[in-house]
Copies of this chain bind each other. A is one copy, B any other.
């Protein structure tokens, strides 16, 4: 494909071109079966193989220990904001939440509908420009779990020091999913939407520690129960067939590329190039984030004025560097550089930033 653009979208976002081309080739007639995969029964042999491979790879690529199961659930991370407290917050317990920005706040709002929730650390005072150190976390007695957001897509910050606390963690990892190792021993549950690092929108991947499923709440609808979804292999109802199929292909690509170690190294390299460009601009480009908390997935930056930002975005678009506008709630610019975004796109952006500064300095 010759006219492929540099796509810095915050999600949905760039997927590996080879994955897209494979899916296109087999879209109408899947493996000579005389029909598309999306026309097949989810209980049939073809999709069974697809789903099994995706689940196996989701555990393998993530390095999940044997005491974790993986679930494929519709509703994205947002439905997990409700499902986590619905299932885990049993009567008499409470949950602590790290308020690190927009997405953490959303998780807190939804959890409040289902139990006692408190803020274990609040980044509002710093305008959400950094993540907490463990020593700053205030975990109360009788806390069932501490909820963290590993990467805030809008604020452009990431957890750089996994919390050292005496309670299990629950993590929303949507926007840096499988781009770095997960310290499994700390977690009871990890979740994230797939539409950034893992595939097309329409699903969350949830890793859950099996032993906690014996003690989850039961007085909720069956779709929403982790224990039922786990016992049915995420096929309690008709699963999102196409999304699982694409997830499997992306995971296979990740594995072939070297898995999480390779993704982590590339992310550091890509983010490093952009932060270096910012830091070496003499203040022309400015990243409001504390250095230690800088995201390796979402690089946010400002220019000297909103007028220059508008010009920057317009000229970037003209140069095929797309979707660099910051989230509407914070403004500025944002380059999302997820796993599948090639280094060449980041190099092109860094070059463009330098040239733009020279022309508009």
Contact = CB atoms under 8 A, between A and B. Distances in A.
Interface of A: 1, 3-5, 7, 9-15, 17, 20-21, 23-24, 27-29, 32-36, 38-42, 44, 74-79, 81-82, 86, 106, 109-110, 113-114, 193, 195, 200-203, 219-224, 236-243, 246, 320, 322-323
A242 B20 CA distance: 13
A256 to B, nearest CB: 19
Given A4-B35, A219-B113, A9 B82 contact: no
Integer count of this chain's copies in the complex: 2
Contact of A79 (B40, B74, B203, B323): B74
B20 A27 contact: yes
A38 B24 contact: no
Contacts of A29: 1, 3-4
A200 B113 contact: no
Contacts of A113: 219-221
Given A9-B44, A75-B75, A76-B237, 11 more contacts: A3-B32, A12-B39, A21-B28, A44-B323, A76-B238, A78-B236, A78-B237, A82-B221, A113-B219, A201-B241, A201-B242
A170 to B, nearest CB: 15
A97 to B, nearest CB: 14
A89 to B, nearest CB: 12
A3 B32 CA distance: 8
Contacts of A242: 200-202, 242-243
Contacts of A17: 28
A44 B32 CA distance: 36
A223 B36 contact: no
A9 B82 CA distance: 34
Contact of A33 (B5, B110, B237, B240): B5
Given A113-B219, A221-B79, A15 B27 contact: no
A221 B242 CA distance: 27
Nearest to A328: B43
Contact of A34 (B3, B40, B77): B3
B81 A223 contact: yes
29 contacts: A4-B29, A7-B34, A7-B39, A9-B39, A9-B40, A10-B41, A12-B41, A13-B39, A17-B28, A20-B28, A21-B28, A24-B28, A27-B27, A44-B323, A75-B79, A77-B237, A78-B223, A78-B236, A86-B221, A110-B222, A110-B223, A114-B221, A200-B240, A201-B239, A201-B241, A202-B202, A202-B241, A240-B240, A242-B243
A24 B37 CA distance: 13
Contacts of A86: 221
